[in-house]
Amino acid sequence: MKKYALIIHGGCGALSQFSEKEQKAFLKSLEKVIKRGERFLQKGEKALDVVEKCVKLLEDDPIFNAGKGSVLNEEGEVEMDASIMCGKTMNTGAVAGVKSAKNPITVARRIMEKTSHVFLIGEGAEKFIRKEKIERKPASYFILPHRVAQLKKVKKEGIVLLDHDDNKKNTKLGTVGAVAYDIYGDLAAATSTGGMSNKMIGRIGDSALIGCGNFADNKSAGVSCTGRGEDFIKAALSRRIADLVELKGYKAKKASKKATQYFKERVNGYGGFIMIDRKGNIGEGLTTEGLIRAYVKQGKKPVCKLFK
Ligand code: GLY
d(CA 179, CA 272): 14
Active site residue 193: no
Give 143 Cα–ligand 1 centroid separation in angstroms: 18
Question: Which pLDDT value is given to residue 173?
Answer: 53
Question: Which pLDDT value is given to residue 113?
Answer: 98
d(CA 231, CA 222): 19
Q: Which atom of ligand 1 is nearest to the CA of 203?
A: 5
Question: Which pLDDT value is given to residue 161?
Answer: 66
| Burial class of residue 246, CB neighbours in 10 A (0-12, 13-18, 19+) | middle
Residues of the chain with pLDDT under 70: 161-173
Q: Which of the residues 89, 92, 106, 175 is marked catalytic? A: 175
Side-chain half-sphere exposure of 306, counting CA atoms within 13 A: 19
Neighbours of 224 (CB within 10 A): 33
Question: Which pLDDT value is given to residue 171?
Answer: 38
Neighbours of 201 (CB within 10 A): 11
Question: Which pLDDT value is given to residue 14?
Answer: 84
Give 11 Cα–ligand 1 centroid separation in angstroms: 10
Give 42 Cα–ligand 1 centroid separation in angstroms: 31
As beta bridge partners, residue 224 has 214, 274
CATH for 5-307, options being 1.10.10.10, 3.40.50.2020, 3.40.109.10, 3.60.20.30:
3.60.20.30
SS (H, E, C) the chain: CCCCEEEEEEEEECHHHCCHHHHHHHHHHHHHHHHHHHHHHHCCCCHHHHHHHHHHHHHCCCCCCCCCCCCCECCCCCCEEEEEEECCCCCEEEEEEECCECCHHHHHHHHHHHCCCCEEEHHHHHHHHHHCCCCECCHHHHCCHHHHHHHHHHHHHCCCEECCCCCCCCCCCCCEEEEEECCCCCEEEEEEECCEECECCCCCCCCCCECCCEEECCCCEEEEEEECHHHHHHHCHHHHHHHHHHCCCCCHHHHHHHHHHHHHHHHCCCEEEEEEECCCCEEEEECCCEEEEEEEECCCCCEEEEEC
d(CA 21, CA 3): 35
Domain range annotation of the chain: 5-307
In this prediction the pTM is: 0.95
- Angle, helices 237-246 vs 252-267, to 10°: value is 140
Ligand 1, atom 4, lies closest to the CA of 229
Pocket of ligand 1 (CB under 6 A): 175, 193, 195-196, 205-207, 213, 226-229
Question: Which pLDDT value is given to residue 164?
Answer: 53
Q: What is the dihedral of CA 136, 140, 143, 144, to 10 degrees?
A: -130
Give 217 Cα–ligand 1 centroid separation in angstroms: 22
Q: Which atom of ligand 1 is nearest to the CA of 194?
A: 5
